[in-house]
Structure 1
Amino acid sequence: MATFKAVVRTPRKDGFYQVYIRVVHNTKPGYIKTDKIVTKQTVDKHGNINDPFVSEYCARMILRYADRLNRKDCAKWTVRQIIEYVTQDDEDICFSDYAWLYIDRMVDRGQLRNAKNYKLALQHMERYYGTTKIMFGQLTAPQVNRWIVELEHTRRAKEMYPVCMRQVFRGVMDEYNDYDNGIIRIKTNPWGKVKIPQADRAEKKAISPEECRAFFAAPLPESRMVDPLPELGRDVAMMVLCLAGMNTIDIYELRKEDYHEGKICYRRAKTRKARNDEAYIEMRVEPVIMPLIEKYGAEAGEEYLLNFHKRFSTADSFNANVNTGIKQLCKSMGMPKEQWYSAYTFRHTWGTVAQNDCGATIAEVAFAMNHSHGYTVTRGYLRIDFTPAWELNAKVIDFIFFSTAKSKQGLARGVDEPADKLFRLTERVMVYARAYFRREVLAEVSDIGFGTVDEVIARLAGQLPDTIPAGCAVQFRIKNVDADREAVYERTKGKGF
């Protein structure tokens, strides 16, 4: 059993002594700081406090700590665990403070773009609550649902913002709650009763090869600028299209070391932190864009392959100016505003033409565009041959720029549209799952953080009683709460779990 005693330590600079409650457990000491101070005259030579008011205050604290600790089996706890448990009381914790810490950690890990989304989500939530100090006690299911209603008019934020804040909530529960020892500081979780809407499905941005040909053949609008934006937009759009839909941020960040033997070797910025293979890909530079590589090549001695860093301070600024240039060229072509292109148009176009006009499968398109396509773990173990991606890229370039063949536009699925409607999970979706044996629910889980169905089944299987005979089938009913979709799987004890 831990022992408690009111003590002082070294004097402060002003001559006063800070009062502490010393905790000793298994011969290890620890200290709980109080808000009381005493003078030298009220402390005897043994360090005992003679101030009656402070002594009475500390005695009440010690009684409260001892009473709380007597309700737990804490023999194997550390001093730190004991201090955390007895001092937790019922005080509320600031969600905003922890969320900013969570975002700072993302920045430290290099997840700058994701950190930006989390920051926007937190700032929107703080504006809704009217405070920069949102407390966990304020995050009730009805209140969070009302916040989500405020996001209904948005296309993507209505899903992304709540998912981000739910991830933060999960992080603080993992960090602050010690379930093994019954130390629970965050006692409620509203997210099981929160319905997160799905983001609006974006319109397919792909254009036909005929429209591509017209865009790249259009004359540039007159400009007094030495490096006009329409020219930049057209040239970068050409790079995107001829490098298998490469993103502008990856073009901006290319180093000279990434280009050798006629290949660009890079890790896709969007997903390199989330994949075992770090989203690595090699893409052969076709002759059609070699003049652009030379035109925008950085000077000798610079680390970057292209000179865009001289004009634009960040990848976001570069992307915004490229899109502005593309839109200015679209405007000069007489296109209606709602039909103007962006850099992403040409990424979607590459994938659609590859599948629609060049006979590629969805898997082949995903491979060439550096989508994981469900094989992130496998790709992390293999030395990949990227030749099929190069050959497909050459086919797309030949079809668009070196033929007059008419496209089959309209028959293809969108680049990001799955080939089937299989039940899928990601670590950010809320899952509600139950395990049935002989029509009785024996295990249940409601949580996020599952990347696959097998992970959910493994969690449920760990809760099943040992009395289920080997060879018996158990049904696992799994629901993707966010998408409101459900699937049932059956596993046999001894084989499936």
Structure 2
Amino acid sequence: MGYIKTDKLITDKQILKSGEIKDAVVNEYCSREILKYTDMINRKDISNYSVTELIDYLTRVDDNVCFSEFATLYIDRMIREGHERNAKNYRLAVNHLERYLGTTRIMFNHLTSTVLKKWIDYLSKTNRAKEMYPTCIRQIFKKAIIEFNDEERGIVRIKFNPWLKVSIPKSDNTVQRAISAEACREFFNRPLPETKMISSLPELARDVSLLSLCLGGINTVDLYELKKENYKDGIIGYKRAKTRHSRRDEAYIEMRVEPFIQSTFDKYLSHDENEEYLFNFHKRYSNSDSFNANVNNGIRKICADMGMKKKDYYCYYTFRHTWATIAQNDCDANLYEVAFGMNHSHGLNVTRGYVKIDFSSAWRLNAKVIDFIFFSDEKSKQGKARDIEEPADKMFRISKKMMIYGRAYFKGKVVGELTDIGFSNVDEVIAELVKQLPKDIPTGCNVQFRLTNCDSQKEVVYERSKGKGF
């Protein structure tokens, strides 16, 4: 018979007449220790161990460092330091490894190179996880070696680093999810699927996708987290959530809100004086992940209504990829200009940390992308988006003496056009153009209107939905 010592102390008053301990804290501690020892015994053949050898095995400190416990502490530390999004990936990696090994108490000495190679091989059919998960686990392991081992003092609690013998495969290349300008016109200019919901999910999805496409491919998490202080004089300025902690310039960018999407932008603005966030998405969704999931769900509903195959359905990222592809292929932007407009560091993150950036080139490129998609057909461009020097549409003035040139667009094609005087306001011009629209435009479809004051050469764009706006 043998005993294992603990660091717990009790008095006579904490012992029942039966000899049992009545201290709840001590009992809970001992129960946890017994469970831990039982788990260790079940994982090793101890049939030939003596009592002394068994106690030595169970109490050997060097072999008893728990990877799962350290990983939890490491991930919690990441969250406290503001790396919530990365922490989610680390938690996914640890959870997957625990499921694979069948325990939530993985010990460091269990993670041999053989075990890790088999786990990585198990991940081989995934696109991204086969690289991301092992990379996360390796980083946790590396940090643990630094914290637990002290070679100078002869303290080596983690005996080996299995990653020296393990190769991590590269993730598959990102599938090019961009769609053509024609496909964009079809997506944004068709009736929305009917719904019994008070708040239409397809409508939310279409509007948020439009905001992404017309704001340089902004991500849902950044839209969700925008605050009122981030929007000033028609410009949003924010730090991209995905890379703000890994770049010297904190991934800061400014993007101008073009007149074309102003009405959609304003549609979701929060009017609650006590609310710090710019948009009212927080009223409906508890976090950015829930918001993103619902937007993608709405996009899928539109794709299904379009008769698309499931494998071809769009997602929110489709429109970010589309912005980049059209900017490069159809608007003559080079890859650096595209990267700048999408807030990628493009290898210049150190330089960007020192320089006060002028983002107007990104605004001009964004205006070109909008113009190509919504104000041209597949053959040629027509008109141009507002130049940077020109004022916003709130400065656009009409009087009956001014000559107005107006055009209506549906799916990029001009379907109405006029040049005349006698208009008192924008609505009167649009109403006159509406008379020229084809009768077969379905209810719920969007039509774009471009108005030019021939006297001042100022130009504005608007969007109206059949059945609501006209």
- Give me the whole-angstrom Cα distance separating, in 2, the residues matched to 1:274 and 1:404: 40
For 1:131, the equivalent position in structure 2 comes to 103
RCO greater where, 1 or 2, for CA within 8 Å and sep 6 or more?
2
- The answer (yes or no) to whether the contact 2:63–2:108 under 8 Å persists in 1 is no
For residues 24-423 of structure 1, the aligned pairs below 5 Å read 35=7, 90-301=62-273, 302-406=275-379
- The answer (yes or no) to whether the contact 2:62–2:158 under 8 Å persists in 1 is no
Change (3 A) 1:407 1:272: farther
Q: How far is 1:180 from its partner?
A: 4.1
- The answer (yes or no) to whether the contact 1:210–1:407 under 8 Å persists in 2 is no
Deviates most, 240-249 or 201-210: 201-210
- Give me the whole-angstrom Cα distance separating, in 1, the residues matched to 2:180 and 2:380: 7
- Give me the whole-angstrom Cα distance separating, in 2, the residues matched to 1:265 and 1:37: 59
Q: How far is 1:271 from its partner?
A: 0.6
Q: What SS does the corresponding residue of 1:283 show, helix, strand or coil?
A: strand
- Give me the whole-angstrom Cα distance separating, in 2, the residues matched to 1:364 and 1:237: 22
Task: Write out per-residue CA displacement over residues 373-395 of structure 1, whole angstroms, 9 at most, x where no aligned residue.
Answer: 11111111111111111111011
Change (3 A) 1:291 1:179: same
Task: Write out per-residue CA displacement over residues 94-123 of structure 1, whole angstroms, 9 at most, x where no aligned residue.
Answer: 111111100000111121111111111111
- Give me the whole-angstrom Cα distance separating, in 2, the residues matched to 1:397 and 1:36: 70
Q: What SS does the corresponding residue of 2:125 show, helix, strand or coil?
A: coil
Q: How far is 1:224 from its partner?
A: 2.0
For residues 442-461 of structure 1, the aligned pairs below 5 Å read none
Task: Write out per-residue CA displacement over residues 30-87 of structure 1, whole angstroms, 9 at most, x where no aligned residue.
Answer: xxx97486999xxxxxxxxxxxxxxxxxxxxxxxxxxxxxxxxxxxxxxxxxxxxxx9
- Give me the whole-angstrom Cα distance separating, in 2, the residues matched to 1:390 and 1:88: 63
Higher helix share: 2
- The answer (yes or no) to whether the contact 2:220–2:288 under 8 Å persists in 1 is yes
- Give me the whole-angstrom Cα distance separating, in 2, the residues matched to 1:164 and 1:282: 32
For 1:411, the equivalent position in structure 2 comes to none
Change (3 A) 1:309 1:34: closer
- Give me the whole-angstrom Cα distance separating, in 1, the residues matched to 2:139 and 2:337: 33
- The answer (yes or no) to whether the contact 2:67–2:105 under 8 Å persists in 1 is yes
Task: Write out per-residue CA displacement over residues 390-432 of structure 1, whole angstroms, 9 at most, x where no aligned residue.
Answer: 1110111111111124489xxxxxxxxxxxxxxxxxxxxxxxx
- The answer (yes or no) to whether the contact 1:209–1:407 under 8 Å persists in 2 is no
- The answer (yes or no) to whether the contact 2:62–2:156 under 8 Å persists in 1 is no
Change (3 A) 1:36 1:106: closer
Q: Percent identity?
A: 61
- Give me the whole-angstrom Cα distance separating, in 1, the residues matched to 2:8 and 2:289: 52
Change (3 A) 1:182 1:289: same
The letter for the 2-side match of 1:171 is K
Deviates most, 218-227 or 311-320: 218-227
Change (3 A) 1:322 1:188: same
- Give me the whole-angstrom Cα distance separating, in 2, the residues matched to 1:158 and 1:271: 21
The letter for the 2-side match of 1:360 is A
Compute the TM-score of the two structures, normalised by the length of structure 2: 0.67
- The answer (yes or no) to whether the contact 2:225–2:277 under 8 Å persists in 1 is yes
Task: Write out per-residue CA displacement over residues 178-219 of structure 1, whole angstroms, 9 at most, x where no aligned residue.
Answer: 244443322210001112122222310000111111111111
- Give me the whole-angstrom Cα distance separating, in 2, the residues matched to 1:277 and 1:36: 51
Change (3 A) 1:96 1:286: same
The letter for the 1-side match of 2:174 is A
Task: Write out per-residue CA displacement over residues 330-355 of structure 1, whole angstroms, 9 at most, x where no aligned residue.
Answer: 11112222111111000000000001
The letter for the 2-side match of 1:267 is K
- Give me the whole-angstrom Cα distance separating, in 1, the residues matched to 2:114 and 2:347: 36
Q: How far is 1:89 from its partner?
A: 5.7
- The answer (yes or no) to whether the contact 1:221–1:230 under 8 Å persists in 2 is yes
- Give me the whole-angstrom Cα distance separating, in 2, the residues matched to 1:103 and 1:401: 45
Q: What SS does the corresponding residue of 2:255 show, helix, strand or coil?
A: strand
List alignment gaps of at least 5 residues for structure 1. 1-32, 41-86, 409-497
- Give me the whole-angstrom Cα distance separating, in 2, the residues matched to 1:383 and 1:183: 49
- The answer (yes or no) to whether the contact 1:252–1:306 under 8 Å persists in 2 is yes
For 1:447, the equivalent position in structure 2 comes to none
- The answer (yes or no) to whether the contact 1:97–1:133 under 8 Å persists in 2 is yes
Compute the TM-score of the two structures, normalised by the length of structure 1: 0.64
- Give me the whole-angstrom Cα distance separating, in 1, the residues matched to 2:63 and 2:268: 59
Deviates most, 116-125 or 240-249: 116-125
- Give me the whole-angstrom Cα distance separating, in 2, the residues matched to 1:89 and 1:345: 52
- Give me the whole-angstrom Cα distance separating, in 2, the residues matched to 1:189 and 1:200: 27
For 1:481, the equivalent position in structure 2 comes to none
Deviates most, 264-273 or 124-133: 124-133
- The answer (yes or no) to whether the contact 2:62–2:159 under 8 Å persists in 1 is no
Change (3 A) 1:34 1:279: same
Higher strand share: 1
Change (3 A) 1:37 1:215: closer
Pairwise CA RMSD: 2.1
The letter for the 1-side match of 2:303 is C
The letter for the 2-side match of 1:202 is T
Q: What SS does the corresponding residue of 2:193 show, helix, strand or coil?
A: coil
The letter for the 2-side match of 1:139 is L
- Give me the whole-angstrom Cα distance separating, in 1, the residues matched to 2:291 and 2:9: 58
